Amino acid sequence: MLRLKNNFSIEHDTAGCGLCGIINIRKIRTNGEDIKKAIALEHDRGNGLGGGFAVYGCYPEYADLYAFHVMYDDLAAKHDTEEYFKNNFIIEKQESIPVFKTSKINDHPILHRYFMKPKSDREDRLLHDLGDDDFVVSSVMLINSEYDGAYVFSSGKNMGAFKGVGYPEDIADFYMLDNVEGYMWTAHNRFPTNTPGWWGGAHPFTLLDWSIVHNGEISSYGINKRYLEMFKYNLALKTDTEVIAYILDLLIRKHRLPVELAMNVLAAPFYHTIEKMEPKQKELYNALRQIYGSALLNGPFAIIFGYPDGMIALNDRIKLRPLVAGTKGDFTYIASEESSIREVCSSPDIVWSPKAGEPIIIKTINTENISQKQRLIIS
Amino acid sequence: MTKSSFTNIQSEYLAVIDHAKCVRCKRCIQNCGWGTYSFGGDKIIADHSKCVACGRCYTYCPEGAISILKNPTVMRENGNWQDYHIKNIWRQSETGGIAISGMGTPLKYKKYFDHILLDACQVTNPPIDPLREPMELKTFLGKKPSKLELDFNEDGQPILKNPMPPQIELATPFIFAPMSYGSISLNAQKAMALAARALGIVMNIGEGGLHDELVPFGKNIIVQVASGRFGVNRDYLNSGVAVEIKIGQGAKPGIGGHLPGEKIGADISRTRMIPAGTDAISPAPHHDIYSIEDLRQLIYAIKEAINYEKPVSVKVAAVHNIAAIVSGIVRAGADIVYIDGFTGGTGAAPIIIRDNVGIPIEIALAQVDQRLREEGIRNEASLVAAGSIRSSADAVKAIALGADAVAIGTAALVVMGCHICGKCHTGNCSWGITTQRPELTRRLDPEEYGEKLYNLITAWSHEMKDILGAMGVNSIESLRGSKERLRGIELTDSELKVLGIKHAGM
């Protein structure tokens, strides 16, 4: 029996995992072959109970519309949710997400996608004046927490998440990702320890254009959650990954922190490091820790965070989970294991293991000049 | 009144001397502040009725010849009419007065800290070894902005737009709780000042003014403004790292204080800025605070006086409606709120108040933290929790329930020899703590006990790091308010709900 909601009587879902990411900084699009090969090599890092992919640049023809990927338990749930969509959004196009049933993945929810934008005269305008992004976020939270049997698993523009219960290579076949093209891919292989068989629990977790794949357990989950609740985030999924996505949404979209600083909130420099900084910088980082102490992600993690401008990989402050990076020309590869990188790129220009708490930030070059990336790679 | 006085009918303790071991050195006579011992020509004689079981005599008896026993003479046992009630009735029938005692309530109310268990990591997330990895306890007390405001310098690097509001920096999340000069001796205050300076934490000097000898410790001192306004002037307000307005105290919510004139000698008179020999009265309310907006005025009057360079704290007792009260205090402009729980200590309080008024700190804290979060103002003020923190485990649990730091009062006195005899109000403390008698206070060596206080807080900090490591986090802010790491045991659904934690196994 498929159930989309997290009906397990737990506060907090945790998992071990494998992850991969591939980005082309010139936004040259490739299909899902390589990412599937790379994550397939990390087969043993998962247990067949969750796999998924995020791809950026996959819907160029609908680039200015929000692409909602929705899972439904049944047609009734679909009907109710679509009622909400019709009332609040202009739906340009909707269709079933194309799937190919294999022997490995034969039991799945109804998978549907919608390309749409919020109506300008929608009813919530009577109460407040949310921007489109904020309205999409609140719609996603509303559906995921209040609409039984419906779950929005992707809501960004010109990007999409494809995920489910199974090994990632089987999920790739199921969604026929060799027919999908994008300039940036992330992938996840899940080893859940307390919510087996839950489609919504697979990674990537996405919100608007953010996507997260995550290996680890956030030991500070309790306070991270309570901190986000102060800003009215509704943590319906009870997963670590959801917490990370919302923290990033808060820091980058709402508080307008530069991405680099946001990463320094998630994996904050130690006070003994701050002590040695220049006075202005010291002041900034002391303030960062004091203000955002409750947003510090504590515990073992490696994450790959995708957003339209690029990809960021980050380890916890003492590197308790593996994370390796490599480059070849315009491509950058991130993975839990070096072998995954070499599986799809036999002779990378450079391979390195990022230091604890130091983000690798790969920005695409039409938004930022290339020196940023080169500087990071050289350092 | 002769020996037949009710209260003397039965001494609570017997000071028993083994005359075969006793070498008649008379140290017990010298050490006892209560006059229990005297020399009877050829042996030491004990007046049991004076013994309070403070432990001083046997600690210093070189021969181990003294035993303090609970008087085996029974009072007629009765589950309802207990000794406690009967003796208070006798005592009051003789004096017609309010029965007074020192220290927090000795009654056995449920201690919630003892019904809360901590979490640790196994397999899915690794514990962290504090001996190998950095483990951060550094804590800042004060108002935090809700978001970071940035500017960018000419290189495009982000810099802070506005300076942070003033903070108290603590190397470890402990402070020494307010205990005034007058209620305790200057040497006891000095011991805490020395320890606070060495530890990188702060002590609160209470409402009795700032003695000249403590002035050099300003960077480790919080000065207090209470309803008596003792010793308060502009220099005083600026002599510490923060100013605290004392509204109430856990042991006696709604009750003022009274230091009798006999205790106001020249030194205390100067420090409190009141005439020698006059009673030092702290009224129950501040006579300029009859509402929350009055508190706001005082907070801002003090902020003006200190030029907004230091945080202002407000200390309140945990009472039934504490969540709303603290919310009001935060909105009135306090940067720190110090909440003192029901079992908190005191130098003197009416027994009837101490034993019956207020609510436990665990519950108060959980409710306040939740309320401030619901209102979205938790960042506006730091919370300090107090009210008998007996171990590092209590401190960890308080922090997980939402405190930024905890205050240590009674535990610090225990370091100095206190056996919690509860007779602080008499001024006879044999340990030289809650007395101003020079022959008693001089036995408390500030350096010796300062070092012991340093040791205690160091030990508790080590334990706290061990607990954090076991929980798999390496910074205290990941524990703060993380109720998910707590589980209740032997608690009812209502208790769990009010604490905001789950039962063990959930």
Question: Mind telling me how many Å the CA of A147 is from chain B's nearest CA?
Answer: 24
Q: Which residues contact B453 (CB under 8 A, 6 or more apart)?
A: B176, B191, B192, B194, B195, B412, B415, B416
- pLDDT number for residue B76: 86
> Please, which residues 60-99 of chain A have a Cβ atom closer than 8 Å to chain B?
none
Confidence of residue A266 (pLDDT cuts 50, 70, 90): very high
> In this complex, is the C-beta atom of B482 within 8 Å of any C-beta atom belonging to chain A?
yes
- Which of A9, A219, A288 is nearest residue B478 as measured by Cβ atoms? A219
CATH superfamily name and code, B139-503: Aldolase class I (3.20.20.70)
Q: Are residues B472 and A299, on separate chains, in Cβ contact within 8 Å?
A: yes
Q: What is the mean pLDDT of chain A?
A: 89
**Two tokens at A96?**
């079933």
Confidence of residue B62 (pLDDT cuts 50, 70, 90): very high
> Please, which residues 279-318 of chain A have a Cβ atom closer than 8 Å to chain B?
280-281, 283-284, 286-294, 296, 298-300, 317-318
Give the number of other CB atoms < 10 A from CB of residue B258: 15
Q: Are residues B477 and A223, on separate chains, in Cβ contact within 8 Å?
A: yes
Return the minimum-mean-pLDDT range out of A250-264, A365-379, B365-379: A365-379
Main-chain phi, psi angles of A336, to 5 degrees: -70, -30
DSSP state of B208: S
Question: Mind telling me how many Å the CA of B36 is from chain A's nearest CA?
Answer: 54
What average pLDDT does the segment A175-200 reach? 86
SS3 A83: helix
- pLDDT number for residue A48: 85
Of the two residues A371 and A23, the one the predictor is more confident about is A23
> In this complex, is the C-beta atom of B484 within 8 Å of any C-beta atom belonging to chain A?
yes
> Is B61 annotated among the ligand-binding residues?
yes
CB–CB of A184/B115 below 8 Å?
no
Q: Which residues contact B289 (CB under 8 A, 6 or more apart)?
A: B247, B295, B298
Question: Mind telling me how many Å the CA of B482 is from chain A's nearest CA?
Answer: 4
Question: Mind telling me how many Å the CA of A18 is from chain B's nearest CA?
Answer: 14
Is the pLDDT assigned to residue A129 strictly greater than 90? no
- pLDDT number for residue A366: 63
CA angle B123, B505, B323 (to 5 degrees): 110
What average pLDDT does the segment A174-199 reach? 87
DSSP state of B206: T
Q: What is the mean pLDDT of chain B?
A: 94
Give the number of other CB atoms < 10 A from CB of residue B158: 18
Q: Could you check whether the bond before residue A204 is cis, i.e. omega within 30 degrees of 0?
A: yes
**Two tokens at A205?**
């977790």
Instruction: Please give the C-alpha separations between residue A158 and each of A54, A67, A206, in angstroms, as whole numbers.
Output: 11, 7, 13
> In this complex, is the C-beta atom of B140 within 8 Å of any C-beta atom belonging to chain A?
yes
Pairing mode, strands B66-70 and B100-101: unpaired
Confidence of residue A7 (pLDDT cuts 50, 70, 90): very low
CATH number of the B12-101 domain = 3.30.70.20
Segment B12-27, tens digit of pLDDT: 899 999 999 999 999 9
> In this complex, is the C-beta atom of B10 within 8 Å of any C-beta atom belonging to chain A?
no
CB–CB of A37/A329 below 8 Å?
no
Count how many Cα atoms sit within 13 Å of the Cα of residue B100 in the half-sphere of its side chain: 17
Is the pLDDT assigned to residue B219 strictly greater than 50? yes
Is the pLDDT assigned to residue A1 strictly greater than 50? no
- Which of B138, B150, B482 is nearest residue A220 as measured by Cβ atoms? B482
What average pLDDT does the segment A350-357 reach? 94
Is the pLDDT assigned to residue B5 strictly greater than 70? no
CA angle A233, A238, A243 (to 5 degrees): 50
- pLDDT number for residue B482: 96
Helix (H) or strand (E) holding B460: helix B446-471
> In this complex, is the C-beta atom of A221 within 8 Å of any C-beta atom belonging to chain B?
yes
Main-chain phi, psi angles of A40, to 5 degrees: -65, -30
What average pLDDT does the segment A94-112 reach? 91
The dihedral over CA atoms of A264, A17, A375, A356, expressed in degrees to the nearest 10, equals 50
Interface test with A, best of B155, B369, B475, B487 (most A CBs within 10 A): B475
Rg of chain B on CA atoms, in Å: 24
Confidence of residue A77 (pLDDT cuts 50, 70, 90): very high
Please say whether the dihedral angle defined by the alpha carbons of residues B70, B92, B82 and B7, taken in this order, is positive or negative. positive
> Is B418 annotated among the ligand-binding residues?
no
Q: Are residues A270 and B134, on separate chains, in Cβ contact within 8 Å?
A: yes
Is the pLDDT assigned to residue B2 strictly greater than 80? no
Confidence of residue A372 (pLDDT cuts 50, 70, 90): very low
Query: What is the amino acid identity at position B56?
Result: R
Q: Are residues A320 and B126, on separate chains, in Cβ contact within 8 Å?
A: yes
- pLDDT number for residue A15: 58
> Is B424 annotated among the ligand-binding residues?
no
Residue in chain A lying closest to B120 (CA): A219
Interface test with B, best of A227, A229, A289, A298 (most B CBs within 10 A): A298
Segment B126-178, tens digit of pLDDT: 899 999 999 999 999 999 999 999 999 898 899 999 999 999 999 999 999 99
Is the pLDDT assigned to residue A5 strictly greater than 90? no
A96-117 as b/e, with b when 16 or more CB fall inside 10 Å? ebebeeeeebeebbbbbbbbbb
Instruction: Please give the C-alpha separations between residue A235 and each of A238, A244, A278, B57, B419, in angstroms, as whole numbers.
Output: 6, 11, 38, 60, 49
A346, β-bridge pairs: none
**Rounded CA separation B445/B190 (Å):** 9
> In this complex, is the C-beta atom of B499 within 8 Å of any C-beta atom belonging to chain A?
no
Residue in chain B lying closest to A281 (CA): B159
**Rounded CA separation B323/A351 (Å):** 54
CATH number of the A15-378 domain = 3.60.20.10
Is the pLDDT assigned to residue A373 strictly greater than 50? no
**Two tokens at B167?**
């903070």
| Percent over 70 (pLDDT), chain A | 91
Q: Are residues A284 and B473, on separate chains, in Cβ contact within 8 Å?
A: no
> In this complex, is the C-beta atom of A142 within 8 Å of any C-beta atom belonging to chain B?
no
- pLDDT number for residue B199: 98
Residue in chain A lying closest to B121 (CA): A219
If phi > 0 it is left, if psi is from -120 to 50 it is alpha, else beta; for residue B137 that is alpha
Q: Are residues B481 and A294, on separate chains, in Cβ contact within 8 Å?
A: yes
- pLDDT number for residue B249: 95
> In this complex, is the C-beta atom of A219 within 8 Å of any C-beta atom belonging to chain B?
yes
**Rounded CA separation B17/B23 (Å):** 11
Confidence of residue B263 (pLDDT cuts 50, 70, 90): confident
Segment B265-289, tens digit of pLDDT: 899 999 999 999 998 999 999 999 9
**Rounded CA separation B66/B498 (Å):** 47
Q: Are residues A14 and B125, on separate chains, in Cβ contact within 8 Å?
A: yes
What average pLDDT does the segment B82-100 reach? 89
**Two tokens at B389?**
């923190």
- pLDDT number for residue B10: 76
Segment B332-342, tens digit of pLDDT: 999 999 999 99
Count how many Cα atoms sit within 13 Å of the Cα of residue B154 in the half-sphere of its side chain: 0
| Percent over 90 (pLDDT), chain A | 73
Q: Are residues A283 and B125, on separate chains, in Cβ contact within 8 Å?
A: no
> Is B22 annotated among the ligand-binding residues?
yes
Return the minimum-mean-pLDDT range out of A157-171, A283-297, B42-56, B88-102: B88-102
DSSP for B325-338, please give it: HHHHHHHTT-SEEE
- pLDDT number for residue A238: 73
Q: Are residues A230 and B144, on separate chains, in Cβ contact within 8 Å?
A: no
Contact residues on chain B for A219, CB-CB shorter than 8 A: 121, 125, 471-473, 478
Rg of chain A on CA atoms, in Å: 20
Estimate to the nearest angstrom the gap between the alpha carbon of B479 and the chain centroid.
22
DSSP for A147-205, please give it: STTEEEEE--BSEEEEEESS-HHHHHHHTTGGG-EESEEEEEEEEESSSTT-GGGSSPE
> Is B421 annotated among the ligand-binding residues?
no
> In this complex, is the C-beta atom of A322 within 8 Å of any C-beta atom belonging to chain B?
no
Question: Mind telling me how many Å the CA of A278 is from chain B's nearest CA?
Answer: 11
**Rounded CA separation A50/A139 (Å):** 25
Of the two residues B478 and B259, the one the predictor is more confident about is B478
Instruction: Please give the C-alpha separations between residue A284 and each of A281, A287, B478, in angstroms, as whole numbers.
Output: 5, 5, 20
Q: Which residues contact A41 (CB under 8 A, 6 or more apart)?
A: A337, A339, A340, A343
Is the pLDDT assigned to residue A283 strictly greater than 80? yes
What average pLDDT does the segment B422-435 reach? 95
Confidence of residue A216 (pLDDT cuts 50, 70, 90): confident
Is the pLDDT assigned to residue A368 strictly greater than 50? no
Q: Are residues B167 and A290, on separate chains, in Cβ contact within 8 Å?
A: yes
> In this complex, is the C-beta atom of A259 within 8 Å of any C-beta atom belonging to chain B?
no
> In this complex, is the C-beta atom of B475 within 8 Å of any C-beta atom belonging to chain A?
yes
Contact residues on chain A for B480, CB-CB shorter than 8 A: 223, 293-294
pTM value surpassing 0.90: yes
Size of interface A-B (CB pairs under 8 A): 120
> In this complex, is the C-beta atom of B129 within 8 Å of any C-beta atom belonging to chain A?
no
CB–CB of B179/B206 below 8 Å?
yes
Write the ipTM.
Answer: 0.90
> Is B51 annotated among the ligand-binding residues?
yes
Residues of A known to be catalytic: 17
Interface test with A, best of B170, B477, B486, B487 (most A CBs within 10 A): B477
The residue extents of the domains of chain A are: 15-378
Query: What is the amino acid identity at position A213?
Result: V
- pLDDT number for residue A242: 85
> In this complex, is the C-beta atom of B485 within 8 Å of any C-beta atom belonging to chain A?
yes
CB–CB of A159/A54 below 8 Å?
yes
- Which of A15, A283, A292 is nearest residue B160 as measured by Cβ atoms? A283
Query: Which residue spans of chain B are classified as CATH 3.30.70.20?
Result: 12-101
- pLDDT number for residue B6: 61
Contact residues on chain A for B496, CB-CB shorter than 8 A: none
Q: Are residues A217 and B164, on separate chains, in Cβ contact within 8 Å?
A: no
The dihedral over CA atoms of A340, A343, A348, A350, expressed in degrees to the nearest 10, equals 20
